Amino acid sequence: MVDAPLSDNSTAFDSAPASVLHARMAKLRRADFAFHLLTQSAALVVLLMFAGIFWALIVGSWPAIQAFGFRFLVSDAWNPVKENFGVIAPLYGTLITSLIAMLIAVPVGIGIAIFLTELCPLSLRRTVSIAVELLAGIPSIIYGIWGLYVLAPFLQRVVQPAVIDSFANVPGLSTLFAGPPYGIGIFTAGLILGIMILPFIAAITRDVFETVPPVLKEAAYGLGSTTWEVIWNVVLPYSRAGVTGGAMLGLGRALGETMAVTFVIGNAHRINPSLFAPGTTISSAIANEFTEAVGDLYPSALIESGLALFFVTFLVLSSAQYMLYRLERRAGGRS
């Protein structure tokens, strides 16, 4: 009997003795089981890390939980001398700066992705893509230094005075954009965060748009659709899950960003309705004060602030996933 060629695995298996086949199958089963165990262990590591972080935050913040209870979540007091703490002011700053960042980064990031995948000339596409990816690699402290020495003075001299004067007699907006123009503040921090998360949203959205089957777009163009109609009715619905995922990744970074925000937000523990006023976020408060926190309640209050940020981030991202699930079910029902 002529030996089967090595390149033909099926013929080699057919011509091998039963004992050899049994040994080979057992070896493959063991390898498959080891691979399954390895990937399962990797998934369990993520859950263990999640549980470990949560447990460490609970243990560290327990003295503050016992001392303040629910009042910690609704109080704006922050007096280390009297050991009276509340997280509502930094929590407000965290949410508002993240909202400003998302309002800036999501439409601009999607616009960049649309341009790169649908409109950009081939000679320019690689250059712009590399520039977007390089922005994502800049350390956050560099953004903070640039924001403090370049962006904040520009906003203080040019942008904020013009906005304050323009909305001075408009109800509601006059409060939202009230002076004096500090340069630093909630709006500046949100703007810096928007610039920071923009490349992440743009890069992920671009990659998702490139997964849209060309036949779908060609069919829409064949029916006489314009570029805008193809993007709105074909590209965006098809890639909705990926676009939402990219936006949520950017939101997660905006909620937890520390150093860049610390440079430009003003670090004031108070709630001010004006976006131009100084404020603080949970991350910047922890970074500023943890090294000088003494006693039992002060560091515990800072850790409980981190626990609050942990819960807020978890709730925001979980709500986004649930919203996406509902949208997918609705789309499936219509089809």
Q: Is pLDDT at 323 greater than 80 in this prediction?
A: no
What pLDDT sits at residue 99? Answer: 94
Residue 17 clears pLDDT 80, i.e. is over it: no
pTM: 0.84
Retrieve residue 327's tokens.
């949208």
CB atoms inside a 10 Å sphere around CB 268: 18
* Residues 222, 216: Cα–Cα separation, whole Å: 10
CB 61 within 8 A of CB 304: yes
On the question of pLDDT at 54 being above 60, the answer is yes
Whether residue 58 is predicted with pLDDT greater than 90 in this model: the reply is: yes
Indicate the helix (H) or strand (E) that contains 27.
Answer: helix 18-68
**The pLDDT value given to residue 290:** 87
Question: What pLDDT does residue 11 have?
Answer: 53
As a whole number of Å, the CA-based R_g of the chain is: 27
Q: So where are the chain's domains? A: 9-66, 69-334
Q: Which has more pLDDT, 223 or 191?
A: 191
CA dihedral 136, 139, 142, 144 (to 10 degrees): 90
Q: What is the pLDDT of residue 41?
A: 92
Q: Give 4's pLDDT tier (boundaries 50, 70, 90).
A: very low
Q: Is 300 helix (H, G, I), strand (E, B) or coil?
A: helix
The C-alpha atoms of residue 263 and residue 144 are separated, in whole angstroms, by 5
pLDDT digits (tens, 9 = 90+) for 257-310: 888 999 999 988 889 899 999 999 999 999 898 888 888 899 999 999 999 999
> At how many degrees (to 10) do helices 122-136 and 186-209 cross?
130
Span 80-91, average pLDDT: 91
pLDDT digits (tens, 9 = 90+) for 209-226: 998 999 999 899 888 888
Residue 235 carries which DSSP code?
I
Q: Which CATH class is domain 69-334?
A: mainly alpha
User: What is the pLDDT confidence band of residue 331, given thresholds at 50, 70 and 90?
Assistant: low
The pLDDT, as a whole number, for residue 1 is 41
